[in-house]
Amino acid sequence: MYKNGELEIDPNYQRLYRWDESQRTRFIESLLLGIPIPPIFVFQRESGVWELIDGLQRISTVLQLMGDLRDPDTGTRFAPLILGGTNLLPSLSGMRWAKSNDDDPNGFDIALQLEIKRARVRVEILRKESDENAKFELFQRLNTGGTKLSEQEVRNSVLVMLNTAFFDWLLELTRHPSFAATVQLTDTQTKQQVAIEIALRFMAYRLHPYSRGLDVNEYLDIAARYLAKLDAPALATEQSHFDWTFRTLQADISDDVFRRWDGARHLGPFSISAFDAIAHGVASNRAGIELLPPHERRTWLREKVHGLWQDPVFQDNSGSGVRGTTRMTNLLPYAATYFRP
């Protein structure tokens, strides 16, 4: 079905294919041992084509093993999967799928290939008659509460379902030089696509204000669905605010603007509390800040950013011990006032 275009994996989903070698090998081991695996979920489009909703890692692993998985950008095939050894099947180490005319001693023989081909996988089909939001709800419920994907990775996949062009636009925002320089993430955060969450926060705070009592991820889920419906002129306006805010903060403060100020220098990791307060506060007051003469603006903005770390309201609503809901309820409106010239 995949080769015939009857089972579609959205290219943006394929970019989230991130099982490591041991996870892929263990999955193939499970198929060979006959261990039951969870069902995959698909959405049946009007055309009858199945769109994969849940099961990306499993389906992609089998396709790569057989040499059929294609790169979403170039259309070229991924390098065939070479397995590692496992505790139960150490002989898998170095093995791969062999083509019919291949005389590779490490290739699967016909019997092993048939074991894979005949492995049972239950497919749950969400019919086209279902409510248009059903597949989004299904995907989120299948992928939240576990460890397979981070909250933002789930949200990214839902954004792809909602509006691939918007997701691509949001991804492009994260590559803005000033945003990339000031939003300093760890390798783990980068892999979990936290940069997209942070860019989404910036827009959400401006266009879909936080409602008291909502869980942070629930709020971002709701805001993402709202933002994905924005038209081109609205996105152009937001891109202008985004560009101006991060370019100004980098130029007038430094790359370390979202790190703690100790009175002499910026220290420590990127602070989400600092980001919420500074980025939202400055963006909310763009019109007034732009009226300041350049030199005066630079001095004023430095004093405000540095002084924020000694501000009692900021101190009470920031830091690892403060819940995200408390921070957003109290800090966002305060920041809009604090950065008013």
The mean pLDDT value for 69-75 works out to 80
Kindly tell me the sign of the dihedral angle through the C-alpha atoms of 340, 243, 266, 195.
Answer: positive
* Percent of the chain whose pLDDT exceeds 70: 89
Candidates 220, 71, 69; CA nearest to 154 is: 220
Residue with tokens 């790569």: 64
Give the global pTM.
0.62
| pLDDT attached to residue 239 | 95
DSSP tag of 77: B
pLDDT at 88 over 80: no
* Percent of the chain whose pLDDT exceeds 90: 43
d(CA 282, CA 304): 10
Interacting residues of 286 by C-beta distance below 8 A, sequence separation 6+: 241, 244, 245
Confidence of residue 231 (pLDDT cuts 50, 70, 90): very high
Q: What is the pLDDT of residues 119-169, one digit of tens each?
A: 888 888 877 655 556 666 666 666 554 445 566 776 777 777 778 888 889
d(CA 314, CA 335): 9
Mean pLDDT, the chain, integer: 85
| pLDDT attached to residue 337 | 96
Residues forming beta bridges with residue 123, ordered by sequence position = 40
The mean pLDDT value for 181-197 works out to 87
| pLDDT attached to residue 146 | 42
pLDDT at 271 over 90: yes
Candidates 200, 180, 206; CA nearest to 258 is: 180
